[in-house]
Amino acid sequence: MLNRTRGSVVAKKAEMADSVWTRFMGLMGRKGLAKDHGLVIYPNNGVHMFFMRFPIDVLHCAEDGTVLKVVANLKPWRVGPIVKKCKYTVELPAGAAKKSHTAQGDKIELVFPNSKG
């Protein structure tokens, strides 16, 4: 996952949560999120931290990848904002948004490996 505006890597590896079950589960029950990893939840416009064990950064993104809101260091047992026009959220280890200099208005690009077929 790349921040095209800043020329930085947001996450080297990301999972996609795009089914009812994977969106519901998100990162619940996990002990942590590996450094340089992320979880893209699509479609989604807000997150909750119930049953979470660690803080995360959340990027709220429009369909075109524009970052609409950055929520840094969202702690367990909290509820994040619902963001209008948000199409997907990206959950990252706490501090990852700052490390990649990602801010509101930046363009995020999701890069998927080429499938062989």
Please list the pLDDT of the chain residue by residue as tens digits (117 residues). 999 999 999 999 999 999 999 999 999 989 999 999 999 999 999 999 999 999 999 999 999 999 999 999 999 999 999 999 999 999 999 999 999 999 999 999 998 765 444
What is the pLDDT at residue 111? 86
Tell me, what's the pLDDT at 112? 72
Q: Is residue 31 part of a domain?
A: yes
Q: What is the pLDDT of residue 117?
A: 41
What pLDDT shows up at residue 114?
58
Residue 78 structural domain:
2-109
* 27-36, long-range: CB < 8 A, 24+ apart: 27/52, 27/56, 27/91, 28/52, 32/93, 33/91, 33/92, 33/93, 34/93, 35/93, 36/9, 36/11, 36/12, 36/93, 36/96
Q: Count of domains in the chain? A: 1
| pTM of the shown model | 0.93
Helix (H, G, I), strand (E, B) or coil at 24: helix
The pLDDT of residue 115 is 43
CATH number of the domain where residue 56 is located: 2.60.120.1140
Instruction: Give the pLDDT of residue 29.
Output: 87
Is residue 117 one of the residues assigned to a domain?
no
Task: Identify whether 116 is part of a domain.
Answer: no
